[in-house]
Amino acid sequence: MAILKIARMGHPVLAGRAVPVGDVSLPEIRRLIDDMMETMRDAGGVGLAAPQVHVPLRLVVFHVPAARTGGEAVPLTVLLNPEVEPLDDTVQVGYEGCLSLPGLTGAVPRWRRVRYRGLDRDGQPVEREAEGFHARVVQHECDHLDGVLYPARMPDLTSFGFVEDVRRRLGAEDQEG
């Protein structure tokens, strides 16, 4: 396993549309998944998308600690070729961060409840419903697959800033994804 270099905002790999993973059983894909998990852990993030490690494939990894769900933790999850759909019209605004925009945070509206589907590392289908922070993480990571970084989702950039300063101002929570 290896810790991979994380692309930062401005790198073209973060702005393009990633392509579906064809054969999930390829050793290169398995190695990429392992390396992404190690990279996410090393960076202290809750999620990571393949374009963030310079690989334009539709693949994300994430986990949500119990402290952030207010209930049960979401275990380390691999999603290949994910799809996300809202379950109702409710939108929640919350602070996010991103490993590709180190040190920054901003308030982003997201669907409060979503259903997501994809394949796990063994090519088996995954389908879950999520809400709150879990739903936010999934939407954030899947946006990376379409070249969308969270500032592009912000209707109001006055909440965008450096974590320590924004925290001082608001006592805001941040998400590193």
Burial 37-68 (b: 16+ CB within 10 A, else e): bebbeeeebbbbbbbbbebbbbbbbbbbeeeb
Sign of CA dihedral 12, 82, 163, 7: negative
Strand order in the sheet with 113-119: 47-49, 59-64, 74-86, 113-119, 125-131
141 annotated active-site: yes
Of residues 106 and 177, the one with the C-beta less far from Ni ion: 177
Could you tell me the smallest distance in angstroms from the CB atom of residue 177 to Ni ion?
Answer: 4
> Which residue, 82 or 177, has its beta carbon nearer to Ni ion?
177
**Candidate segments 7-15, 17-25, 26-34, 96-104, binder of Ni ion by CB under 5 A:** 96-104
**Member of 98, 104, 166, 172 binding Ni ion (CB under 5 A):** 98
Contact call for residue 40 and Ni ion (CB under 5 A): no
Residues near Ni ion (CB under 5 A) are: 98, 177
- Catalytic residue list: 141
